[in-house]
Chains A and B, each alone.
Chain A
Amino acid sequence: MDSMLSEPSMQRALLIAVLLAPLCGVLGVFVTARRMSFFSETVAHGSLAGVAIGLALGIDTAWPILGVSLAVALLVLWLRENTDLLTDTIMALLMSGFMAAGVVGFSKLRGFRGELHRYLFGDILSVGWPDVILAGVVSGFVLAFLVARLSQMALMTLSEDLAHVSGTSVRRLNLVFVVLLTLTVALSIRLLGIILVTSLLVIPPATARNVASTLRQELLLSLLCGLLSGIGGVVASYQFDLPCGPSIVLTSVGLFLVSLVARALRRPARRSSHP
């Protein structure tokens, strides 16, 4: 354990897991209730084009990943408002288009074939200090947003019309949420990889729902599940030499199974107390 913590790459990986995984858990509560998980898939897959750009230019890929992810997210919003296309169609179009561009870019790059695997499934070693600093800044923004706008987010999730009548600018709040979600997803790619990054937005909220009965409990449990999955996955990845993304996902799936058992145990108790 000591030797693990003394390694700078592990320190960075653990730090970024502690910063981002709980945020994914909390944001995921709203992502899943608003049926936006395909949106985060779109953003993550599209960011492969950003990876190719970064490698081609020889710069840190963190920036082009962020830039391309934001471009994809804003394109989804723009096309949704300015065309008659279904949101589903728009997202499938952008996801496949940007991902194809990324794969084509990779095929023309020499010496980076091995890199593709790291970006698709996550790698502790790929986490640099700029990633950690960016994750710190973004998680600060997301936390401030959630503390200030939690009620409005909850009401908008329930009914955009009710939120509007209660004085919320639904369009602006939605835009801020989409941007912060995109930044969180883009930064989490380092750990989880493009293919699996959405799982941390989906599995912790699902786990929380199995045992929670109020939104407050759901948010707190989802945060906790995200945190445990992040730390557990990074540690398992180091100890057993596993790809980082799948380790985190399997840890969160393990927690989900525990919550299923807890739910099954609680059900009969509920029935007997409320005949």
Chain B
Amino acid sequence: MSSIRFHREGLALEVRGLRVSLGETEVLRGIDLHVPKGRIVAVIGPNGSGKTTLLRCLLGLQKPAAGEIRIFGQPIGPAILGRVGYVPQRLALDRSFLLSVREFLALRLRETRHWIWWRRATLDQHLRGLLPGHDLGSLLDRPVAGLSGGQLQRVLVAFSLIGSPELLLLDEPTAGVDAPGEQSFYELIAAVHRERQLSVVLVSHDLSMVYRHACRVYALNGVICCEGTPEEVMNADSLRQAYGMHFTPYHHDHGPGHHHHPGGGG
């Protein structure tokens, strides 16, 4: 019992028995997932595997039919979401909405919510203090809707880091970004993770990039098909379980990390 308590205290995110139905379809069928504090964990799966639904549950945007989600030991609510940063897959941006990057970053915090009355230099100075090491100087005047995929992702990461979150949730963060952009994006995430000791959940359909940075990978397709270190999940059997036609839960018979041993792998 004490070891379980120890594990729970060391968890940034804990999901137990999560079930979600959308209409007639049961999209998630009993998900168990653990993210140890200060680690990068990846959730991979093909399109339609329930990744977005899982993420929406973690953000409190989707009500589960059953199961429990705890972030830093607490149920999801406004208070705990204040400790979470979220980088969405993409924004359905209307180019006619002229919100600039500077204005966008100011929307995140209560203290800058009256940015419209602030002088530009004062706001810039404030933002620099909130985002040390993020050189967004050249982008601040640009409209958010006019940014390239890679630039937008950098800005969204900066936005999510304002307020010093302890858990970062990234939804397909490099969708629509070219290969070099993808690499530099993951290097940015790795650097942020090192500097801030954040816990990170990376949701992606692509294992090739996440495996370099994640300490642990969950392969999802309605259920957790397999979990383990990136090397374990990279083996062909595991990937076939996640991306193929067999949806039954699959436990690795090697490696230290299994469903009920959070933090064991990596």
Q: Using CB atoms and an 8 Å cutoff, list the residues of chain A in contact with chain B.
A: 32-33, 35, 147, 150-152, 154-155, 157-159, 161-162, 164-167, 205, 209, 212-219
Report yes or no: A164 in contact with B96, Cβ–Cβ below 8 A. no
Closest approach, in angstroms, between the C-beta of A117 and any C-beta of chain B? 34
**Does B63 reach chain A (CB closer than 8 Å)?**
no
Residues of B within 8 A of A151 (CB): 106-107, 112-115
Closest approach, in angstroms, between the C-beta of A83 and any C-beta of chain B? 14
Chain B residue at smallest Cβ distance from A205: B96
Residues of A within 8 A of B104 (CB): 158
A161–B102 CA distance with the chains assembled, in angstroms: 20
Interface locus among B87-95, B181-189, B201-209: B87-95
Residues of A within 8 A of B61 (CB): 161, 164
Residues of A within 8 A of B141 (CB): 213-214
Residues of A within 8 A of B92 (CB): 159
Residues of A within 8 A of B116 (CB): 150, 216, 219
**Does B251 reach chain A (CB closer than 8 Å)?**
no
Residue of B96, B98, B102 most packed against chain A (CB within 10 A): B98
Report yes or no: B115 in contact with A165, Cβ–Cβ below 8 A. no
Report yes or no: B144 in contact with A158, Cβ–Cβ below 8 A. yes
Residues of A within 8 A of B93 (CB): 158
Report yes or no: A209 in contact with B96, Cβ–Cβ below 8 A. yes
Residues of B within 8 A of A32 (CB): 96
B94-135 vs A, CB cutoff 8 Å, 1 = contact: the mask equals 101111101110111000111110000000000000000000
What are 28 A-B residue pairs whose CB atoms fall within 8 Å in the complex?
A: A151-B106, A151-B113, A151-B114, A154-B103, A158-B107, A158-B144, A159-B91, A161-B59, A161-B61, A161-B86, A161-B88, A162-B86, A162-B91, A164-B61, A165-B81, A165-B84, A165-B85, A205-B96, A209-B96, A212-B98, A213-B100, A214-B100, A214-B102, A214-B103, A214-B143, A215-B97, A215-B100, A217-B98
Report yes or no: A162 in contact with B99, Cβ–Cβ below 8 A. no
Chain B residue at smallest Cβ distance from A35: B94
Report yes or no: A162 in contact with B88, Cβ–Cβ below 8 A. yes
Chain B residue at smallest Cβ distance from A150: B116
Report yes or no: A215 in contact with B99, Cβ–Cβ below 8 A. yes
Q: Count of chain B residues with Cβ under 8 Å from any Cβ of A?
A: 35
**Does B82 reach chain A (CB closer than 8 Å)?**
yes
A27–B190 CA distance with the chains assembled, in angstroms: 41
A212–B95 CA distance with the chains assembled, in angstroms: 13
A147–B116 CA distance with the chains assembled, in angstroms: 9
A218–B116 CA distance with the chains assembled, in angstroms: 11
Q: Using CB atoms and an 8 Å cutoff, list the residues of chain B in contact with chain A.
A: 56, 59-61, 78, 81-82, 84-86, 88, 91-94, 96-100, 102-104, 106-108, 112-116, 141, 143-144, 159
Residues of B within 8 A of A159 (CB): 88, 91-92
Known pairs A151-B113, A214-B103 / 16 extra A-B pairs, C-beta < 8 Å: A147-B114, A154-B107, A158-B97, A158-B99, A159-B91, A161-B59, A161-B88, A162-B86, A164-B61, A165-B81, A165-B84, A165-B86, A166-B107, A213-B143, A214-B141, A215-B99
Residues of A within 8 A of B108 (CB): 166
Chain B residue at smallest Cβ distance from A209: B96
Chain A residue at smallest Cβ distance from B169: A165
A216–B112 CA distance with the chains assembled, in angstroms: 14
Closest approach, in angstroms, between the C-beta of A110 and any C-beta of chain B? 47
A219–B97 CA distance with the chains assembled, in angstroms: 10
Residues of A within 8 A of B91 (CB): 158-159, 162
Residues of B within 8 A of A218 (CB): 98
Chain A residue at smallest Cβ distance from B108: A166
Chain A residue at smallest Cβ distance from B113: A151
Sorted nearest first, the 7 A-B pairs with minimum C-beta distance are A33-B97, A151-B113, A214-B100, A165-B86, A215-B99, A155-B107, A151-B107
Report yes or no: A154 in contact with B86, Cβ–Cβ below 8 A. no
Report yes or no: B78 in contact with A167, Cβ–Cβ below 8 A. yes
Chain A residue at smallest Cβ distance from B98: A218
Report yes or no: B96 in contact with A33, Cβ–Cβ below 8 A. yes
Chain B residue at smallest Cβ distance from A217: B98
| Contact A167/B96 with A151-B107, A215-B103 known, Cβ cut-off 8 Å | no
Residues of A within 8 A of B115 (CB): 151, 216
Chain A residue at smallest Cβ distance from B81: A165
Closest approach, in angstroms, between the C-beta of B253 and any C-beta of chain A? 38
Chain B residue at smallest Cβ distance from A169: B78
Report yes or no: A150 in contact with B113, Cβ–Cβ below 8 A. yes
A155–B97 CA distance with the chains assembled, in angstroms: 11
Chain A residue at smallest Cβ distance from B84: A165
Residues of A within 8 A of B96 (CB): 32-33, 205, 209
Residues of B within 8 A of A209 (CB): 96, 98
Report yes or no: B99 in contact with A165, Cβ–Cβ below 8 A. no
